[in-house]
Structures are given as C-alpha cells and as structure tokens.
Structure 1
Amino acid sequence: MSRRASAPLASAGLFAAFAGLAVFAPLPASAADLGGDCCADLEERVAELEATTARKGNRKVSLTVSGYIAQEITVWDDGTESNVYIHGLGPTQASHVKFNGQATIAPGWTAGYMLRIQDLTGNAFAGGDNAINQLNGSNNGNLNTQMSFWYLQSESLGKLSVGRLAHAAKSAGMFTDLSGTQIIDNYTFLAGFPQFRLRTSSGELSSLTWGQLGFCYTQGAPLGGDCNGIVMNGVRYDTPTFAGFSASASWGEDDFWELAARYSGEIAGFKVAAGVGYTSMTSETTSFVVPADHKDSEFFQAGAYVQHLATGLFLHGIYGNEDNNGTALTSGRLEPDSDHYYVKAGIRRKVLPLGATIVYGDYARYNDQLGPAAINMGATSSTLERIGGGIAQEIDAAAMTVYLKYQHYQADIDGISDLDNLEDADFVSFGGLINF
C-alpha cells in the first residue's frame, strides 16, 4: 500500500484510540465529592468578568460602535511667515465615535438610533479667540454631541428619523465623491483653514480671514461649499432605493426645509454617483449668528462622480448657488448672492499590496461669497481660488488611510483699498485616518 493511502488509516486508528480512552476514563467527581468551596475561584472570576464587560441596554436592541480618528501635520506659508501645526479635521468630519442601535419590530420593519460624539480638539474650522491662525497654533475644543436621533424604517415604505441629524440635502454634492479622498480633501473649508488671516503684499496682517471670502449665509459660517452641511434638530424622510435612485425630504422648526435626490450605480463599466439638493432656510436658530434682522437664504447644489472601473481614472464635480433674496445686514448692507464650483480628477488603482493608491488634483472657485466682516469693511465683490492635489494610500489591513496634500489659496477683493493686493497662502498637510 502506498504512503498516501496509509495516512487516512493512521488517522482513523488514532481517532479510535482516543474514543476508547474517552469511554473507559473515570467520570469526573461531583461537586459534593470535592468540598463546598470547589467553585469559589470560578465564581470570583465570573464576577470579575461581569464587572468589566461592556453591556448593552437590553437583549432586543443590537449595538454597534464605530468611527475614526484623523489628525494632520500642516506646514504653512502665508508669504511672510511660515510654521508647522498639528491639528484635527472639523467640525463635521472630525474624529468621532458613533453608537448605532437597531431592533427588528416585524419582518421588514426596524427601529433604531444613532449617537455621534466628536472630538473637536484641534478643530481648524473654529473661530473666535481660540481660532487656529498665524497667531495661534492650537485649539482647545471639547467633545461635542453632533448627532442624536431615533428612526423607524420599512423596507418598502422608507425611513423616518427624528432628532439632531443630517438633513435631506446635507452634502448632496460632496458625498458623491467616491475616490476615497472625500473626507481629507473637498470643496469646503472643513478640510481647510478659514480662520487664517489675509496678508497684504506689504506683509501686513489683516483682520479679515480667508473664510470671509467663502461665507455661507444659510448657516452663517465660512463653509465655502456645502452651505447647509451642519446638522440641526428636525425630521427627515428617506425613500427606499429603487434601481440606485433615492429621494429625501426634511423639515425643522421656524422654519427650514430641504429636498434631495441621489443616484449610485454602475453603467457600462463606469461607477457613477450623482446628487442634487435644495435648501430653504428662514430659521434664526442656525449654528452661527449673522448680524441681520432676519434670514431668507436658499441654497442649490449638484454634484456627480464618474470612475472608469478598468483604469481607475475618475472625475468629480460640484456646483453650488446661494440666493439671499436681498436680505440686509444690521449695517444696512445687503447679503450677496454667490456661487461656487469644484473639480477633482485623478486615478485610483491598487499598485501596492497594502491597498488602493489615489493620486488627484483639484480646483475650487468661490465667487462673491463675502461674509459680514468683509461687507462691512466695504467689499463689493471677491474671487477666492484654491488649487491643489495630493496622494493617499489606503492600508486595508488596518482600515487606514495615510495621505499628503497641498492647497494654494489666492484671492482678489474689490472695494477695500487696503486689500487691493494680497499675498497667496500655501498649506502642505500630512495626515492619517484610521477607522474602527
């Protein structure tokens, strides 16, 4: 008999021998035979495990904990001064932890909740005396409850959410970016430095910030793009997805409302995503206060992404328009109507065993997005351009992305003689994002 054929027989013999030992082995002694304190060590260990185990509230609702940590090292140069800062992303894309719960009510029906807590330490977006700019390299932000809502969902009827949440049109254009670089580099100042101050060609530091040239009155913040991208209390409804298409609507008190439609799918060898959204905002209870008697802002956005699956080449674009309907600031000057657009192009391919490598370039332009400070200083029009690009490497085994990106800011302002000629600003950031 060959050696190959004898191996199964040997294995069968070993199995029979162990089975025989198991049959004739003596039975274990009962607890009474070993004395009354036989299980004391075991009970102590169980008690210890119970004391240190994370528990969910009940057995009916599942709980999932997820999130990511993201930090950057940035070298900046404003034409006169340069430095190196360490900071986080923010505010809506900062490091965070999410608690998601879900329970099945009946076949096809679920209920759940989501609680998202952010770490705003090192938030480069925050303003005020604690802003990260040429005079200050750190920000002492705290933990913040960004979202907290419950929902009811039907597979056939859709999803209803109530609480502090992302509304229907939030990031309808920006979230179409499927390149893997949306969080780290996009058309908003959430991935930039709106609180850095403009510097004149003579080297003087102005009180005006770059964010005053990318201001959104819908939320009263220097968002650049995605002018209603901040979460608020309200009610949201999402339809089920049909053939890649879905629609959303939301409302919040006193008053604002949004509508949006989205598509995601593959067409003839291309990955495609598209989104369009409309916001009407008359509520004064937005995230930031604008010095005006009332609010009457409308924001329209549209974005799309196309990637050739065979080559990894991709193109992403967004357009946004804000109409403030002639609303006057308390100074009597009018809030301007404005628009902006953004283009990102590159390639996403797995050239290393670690994961996909993404190389891209991008361009953003913000027209007449003048904030209250700029208007009250006499500004009548403006153009802000941001030119840049980067490389990102995904590390699949660690659910991580490391990246290097470059951003160049340049701007023109009409109406303020002291700011006729401005220095450009450059930012080079190395960062990492790890999911959990």
Structure 2
Amino acid sequence: MFFAAPGALAADRDSCCSDLEERIADLEVTTARKGNRKVSLSISGYVAQELTWWDDGAEQNVYAHGLGPTQATHVKFVGQAQIAPGWTAGYTLRIQNLDDNPFGRNATTGQAINQLFDYFSQGLNVQMSFWYLRNDRLGEISVGRQANASKSAAMFTDQSGTQIIDNYTFLAGFPQFIIRSGGDLLPASMTWGQLAFCYSQNLPIGGDCDGLVMNAVRYDSPAFAGFSVSASWGEDDDWEVAARYAGEMNGFKVRLGVGYSENLDKNASAPAVLQHKHSDYFQVGGYVEHLATGLFAHAAYGKEGNNDEPLTSGYTAPDSRHWYTKFGVRRKWTRLGTTIVYGDYAEYDDQLGPAALALGATSGKLTRYGAGIAQEIDAAAMTVYVKAQHYDADVAGAPELADLKGLDLISVGGLINF
C-alpha cells in the first residue's frame, strides 16, 4: 500500500482547488446569474456615442449625441430552454437608451435636437419584448413586441462593418434640423426630415420605411441552401413578407434581402397624419464582398405607395422612392483589427412630409453623400470611426423654399460591444 506524504496531499488539494476557484471566478465574470436552472440567460449589447460638428450654411456648432432609435445604446437579454431534441423555447428583451436622441421629437412641444436645441431625451425604452418557439426543421414562431418580417430586409444586408454607423435611414442623422431658406431658419416646420418622410411609420426616417417594431406574430423558416423566408402580422394591421439569402460564391460573400409590407394602422409609431392609412412598401438590397481583397459594394432600394390617401390636413400623401449605395474596402492593415474605408450616396425622391405639402411643395429631391473610415479594435470588441456627410435639396412648387442651403456634418464616434 502506498501512503502519500501529508504535504503532498495538501499541495495536490491546493492545486486542484486553486484551478477550480479560477474557473469559477471566470464563469462569474462572463455569465449572468439566472432565476432558475431550466432557462439559460445571456446578456449582450453595445454602447455607442458620437461627437458631430455641423454647418448649416450660416451657423456651426458641435453636438454630442447617441445614434438614435434601433441603433442606439442598448442591452439585450436572451433566454432559452430546450423542450425536447430539436425543440427550444425562449425570449428576448431589448432596452434602449434614448438619451441624446438626434432622431426623436416631442409631439406636443416640438422640441428636438436641431439648431435651437442641443439636447433631447426620451429616456429608457423597451424596444422589444417577445417569446418564441423554435423547431430545427419547421422554423420559429415568435409573439410579442418585435421587429416585423421585412424590417430592414434591404439595410441589414450590409456586412461592411459600418451598417450601424452609416446607412440609408436618418436614425443616426438629424432629420429635425431646419433647412435654411435664404439664410433664415424660416419656415421652422421645413426640416430635412420633411424631404425624407415615410407615411408607413408617420416618421422622417428616409429609408426602411416600414421598419416597424410592434406587437406582432412572426414566422421565420429554417435556412435552406442559404435561403430563408419570413411572414408576420402586427396590430392593427400590418402584413409583411420577406426573403433573405446568406452565403459564399466563388470567393465572394453575398447577402440579399427583399421585403413587402402593407400597413393600415394610421397611428403606427407617431401621431396620425393620414385620415385613413393604406401604405405599401417594397424594398430590396444586397451586399457583395470579394474575400481575397476586401473590396465590397452594398445597395438598397425602397418604394412607398400611399394610394392617394388624404392627410388630416387635407393634402394627399405622395408615392415616393429612395435608393442608396455604399462601396469600399475591408482590410486588416494593422494588428488592431480590420480597417474599413468607404463612400456612400443616397437619394430620396418625392418623400414630401405634411409640412412640405402644406408649404405648397409638389415634388422634391434630397441627396446625401459622404465618406468614412472605421477601425475595428478586436481586443476590445470596439469600433472607432470618423465620417463626413453633405445634404442638398431641391423642392418645386413652394416659393418659400426656392433658395435652400446645404448641411455639412463631420462625426467622430465609437461603439463598444459587450
């Protein structure tokens, strides 16, 4: 029989326990505590903030702000439990920080971030809260406050690493900035968002017109050879269908998305501006990247039809379209991580909002172009960037809007994931 020395046993025990304690400590800092042993819980999200210098043709200033709704600083809780082989159930809860929201506007007071106000807060917002049931072969059904089936079908094809910080919506822009006419901030109702207005949401969102988050029932199919389909219904009433593709072909990364929606809810997202809403929205987008060189191109197109529905003011909601393209290169030139250099261009045609129509506008075109550099920092799961944008507008039918000045913006920002 072999007897170990007491000191050896103590050393082995100390080594074992030390290793165990290190692993327990690691688990405590990398996992979240959960309420029961059946449902797992993961926490993720990011914090994003920008510093923007702007010049509206007569005034210059610098504002610190967030990235607006959808792309804002947020925390996401995801729970999941296995019911049986191939079957899982779970939930998602996503809470946004809409402090310093450049997109928001108080419907009663009209206050927003513009040349007159440098701060606007909508506090914390529960953006999503839904449960789901998933089968590996049949797909997933989800119920609750969530993104509908075609939300961002075109925009989310952008895999350049700059989709959050620069895309064809005005979520991270300043749609409430007043367009200077003849050097004056009059009429104050004529903002940049009035030339990028989506009646599907009653908002100056530019692109992704029916990108709604609402109480809905949604179905998502499993992916077959990279293809998947989705359908949803949200109250009261929003019908959506979409198809997506993700894969690689001959050394190219490819993402495609197409969606169609019909929205009859005149109170969706913001105070009603239509007497009876009947808005339909078609969108299509894609992304192609040459993996060997990192060269990429992204494009998105959207068209909104409003079926000649009258506004509460008596004007008629116009049909409109918009398109966007982004091109550049993704390369790992430094040890920090991938560097993305890009340029982009967007055009918004006849997206005339209620204020523009009230001023007599019969047609309009807003153009936006710019460029940026983003640096991914792998060790910190972070992206830092600088981007420049320029807005121009032409409006017909409104004498007050004959001499519109452009808007220049240069932003420096950062985004860190957790």
TM-score normalised according to structure 2 size: 0.92
Paired residues for 1:326-405 under 5 Å: 326-405=308-387
Give the whole-Å Cα distance in 1 for the aligned partners of 2:63 and 2:81.
44
Give the whole-Å Cα distance in 2 for the aligned partners of 1:202 and 1:435.
42
Q: Deviation digits for residues 356-398 of structure 1, max 9, x if unmatched?
A: 0000000000000000111112111000000101000000000
Q: Deviation digits for residues 107-145 of structure 1, max 9, x if unmatched?
A: 010000000000000010012333000001111220000
SS at match of 1:189: coil
**Matching residue of 1:87:** 65
- Which of 33, 38, 41 aligns to 1:60? It is 38
Gap regions ≥5 residues in structure 1: 1-17, 29-49
**Does residue 164 in structure 1 map to residue 145 in structure 2?**
yes
SS at match of 1:206: coil
Q: Is the 8 A contact 1:344 1:361 kept in 2?
A: yes
Shift, 1:202, TM fit: 3.4
**Matching residue of 2:56:** 78
SS at match of 1:130: coil
- Which of 116, 125, 130 aligns to 2:111? It is 130
Instruction: Please list every run of at least 4 consecutive aligned residues from structure 1 whose deviation after the TM superposition is greater than 6 angstroms.
Output: none
Q: Is the 8 A contact 1:92 1:230 kept in 2?
A: no
SS at match of 1:225: coil
Shift, 1:23, TM fit: 6.8
Q: Which amino acid aligns with 1:217?
A: Y
Q: Is the 8 A contact 1:290 1:372 kept in 2?
A: no
Q: Deviation digits for residues 403-422 of structure 1, max 9, x if unmatched?
A: 00011000001111011111
Give the whole-Å Cα distance in 2 for the aligned partners of 1:54 and 1:330.
49
**Matching residue of 2:281:** 299
**Does residue 180 in structure 1 map to residue 161 in structure 2?**
yes
**Matching residue of 1:114:** 92
**Matching residue of 2:260:** 278
Give the whole-Å Cα distance in 1 for the aligned partners of 2:344 and 2:54.
19
Q: Deviation digits for residues 36-58 of structure 1, max 9, x if unmatched?
A: xxxxxxxxxxxxxx9xx964121
**Does residue 219 in structure 1 map to residue 201 in structure 2?**
yes
- Which of 118, 128, 131 aligns to 1:147? It is 128
Shift, 1:268, TM fit: 0.3
Give the whole-Å Cα distance in 2 for the aligned partners of 1:148 and 1:54.
19
- Which of 72, 92, 96 aligns to 2:74? It is 96
Paired residues for 1:4-43 under 5 Å: 19-22=4-7
- Which of 193, 204, 223 aligns to 1:241? It is 223
**Matching residue of 1:256:** 238
Q: Is the 8 A contact 2:33 2:41 kept in 1?
A: no
Q: Is the 8 A contact 2:395 2:401 kept in 1?
A: yes
The alpha-carbon distance between structure 1 residues 92 and 54, as it changes in their structure 2 partners (threshold 3 A), is closer
- Which of 210, 221, 225 aligns to 1:228? It is 210
Gap regions ≥5 residues in structure 2: 14-27
Q: Is the 8 A contact 2:289 2:297 kept in 1?
A: yes
SS at match of 2:344: strand
Q: Which amino acid aligns with 1:200?
A: S
Question: Which is higher, the Rg of structure 1 or of structure 2?
Answer: 1
Q: Deviation digits for residues 297-335 of structure 1, max 9, x if unmatched?
A: 000000000000000000000000000011011232110
SS at match of 1:397: helix
Q: Is the 8 A contact 1:132 1:195 kept in 2?
A: yes
Q: Is the 8 A contact 1:217 1:290 kept in 2?
A: no
Shift, 1:22, TM fit: 4.5
Report the RMSD for the aligned CA atoms in angstroms: 1.8
Shift, 1:236, TM fit: 0.3
Shift, 1:283, TM fit: 1.6
**Does residue 192 in structure 1 map to residue 181 in structure 2?**
no
Q: Deviation digits for residues 5-37 of structure 1, max 9, x if unmatched?
A: xxxxxxxxxxxxx95454798xx9xxxxxxxxx
